[in-house]
Structure 1
Amino acid sequence: MACRISELVIDAADPERLATFWSEVLGYVEIGREDDGSIGIGPPGVGFGGPLPVLVLSPTSDPRPKKLRLHIDVNATDRDQDAELARLLALGARRADVGQTGAESWHVLADPEGNEFCLLRARIQPV
């Protein structure tokens, strides 16, 4: 028997803002709120325990470290990489420099709080 990733928790100065951003990026919906201000988002009609992990945006006042040791990679499901890049930038993502050469097949971006993530080239099937 093995484990699988059921949720990813992201510390956030503004959980509401990040929940809105990542919901738009991933096509997720809010699935719950906790008394501590955490907001859970996940696939519509599925929520926690489904085939995809949910994201939990957890409030924190701690300063963000310079570089995270873990980041999220995303792939477009219904458009090419250039069109998806334009969509993500319009949602509030920004380009991030983490030392890439410019020859990579992916784009390094940051969410509204500066958390890096990558937009990969391949288009994949939605779940």
Structure 2
Amino acid sequence: MACRISEIVIEARDPELLARFWAEVLGYVEIGREGNAVEIGPPGTGFGGAEPTLVFDRTNSAPRVKLPLHIDVSPTDRDQEDELARLLALGARPADVGQTGEESWHVLMDPEGNEFCLLRTRIEPVRQP
């Protein structure tokens, strides 16, 4: 037996903003709300599908220190430069974490400053059964 990641919970000062941003990035839709939390996931699948859902839960705590993890995304239907342009238009911002400029990925920040990387390699979208 093994476990599978079913949800990733992200604390947010503005859960609505981050849910909208990440839904556009990933092609997800809103699938639920509970209290101040907004959950997004793959359309037609929701919780328990092949891909984990993301839950953005409101936090009122002071600005946090850098998270010990980040999300990597890969384009599914376009090349890296076209996807970079799309993500920047959605509100992502370039992040400087000491890159050399020779990396095959782009380091970005979402609207609340959470770092994520756009990888070069195009992957196939998950096909839902």
Shorter-chain TM band: over 0.9
> In 2, Cα distance between the equivalents of 1:98 and 1:66?
14
SS at match of 2:86: helix
Unaligned runs of 5+ in 1: none
State the AA in 1 paired with 2:72: D
Question: How far is 1:102 from its partner?
Answer: 1.2
2:80 equivalent to 1:81: yes
- Misfit runs of 4+, over 2 Å: 63-66
CA distance in 2, matches of 1:77, 1:52: 15
State the match for 2:31 in structure 1.
31
Which residue of structure 1 aligns with residue 117 of structure 2? 118
Q: Deviations over 1:7-46 (max 9, x none)?
A: 11110000000000000000000000002x1000000000
AA partner of residue 5 (structure 1): I
Q: Deviations over 1:105-126 (max 9, x none)?
A: 0000000000000000000000
**Fraction of identical pairs, as percent:** 73
Whichever residue aligns with residue 93 of structure 2, its letter is R
Is structure 2 residue 52 aligned with structure 1 residue 53?
yes
Q: Partners in 1 of 2:85 and 2:41 — Cα distance?
A: 23
Following superposition, the deviation at residue 63 of structure 1 comes to 2.5
Give TM-score, length-normalised by structure 2. Answer: 0.95
User: 1:101: how far off?
Assistant: 1.3
1-structure distance, mates of 2:37, 2:97? 28
In the alignment, does 2:19 pair up with 1:16?
Answer: no
Would you say how many aligned residue pairs link Structure 1 and Structure 2? 126
SS of residue in 2 equivalent to 1:9: strand
Deviation, structure 1 residue 66: 3.0
| TM-score normalised over the length of structure 1 | 0.97
* Counterpart residue number, 1:4: 4
Where structure 2 has 5 or more consecutive residues not aligned to the other structure, the ranges are none
Quote the Cα distance in structure 1 between the aligned partners of 2:23 and 2:62: 24
Q: Distance in 2 between matches of 1:108 and 1:9?
A: 21
Amino acid of the residue matched to residue 89 of structure 1?
Answer: L
Q: Partners in 2 of 1:63 and 1:2 — Cα distance?
A: 36
Counterpart Cα distance in 2 of 1:51 and 1:113: 27
Give the whole-Å Cα distance in 2 for the aligned partners of 1:64 and 1:75: 28
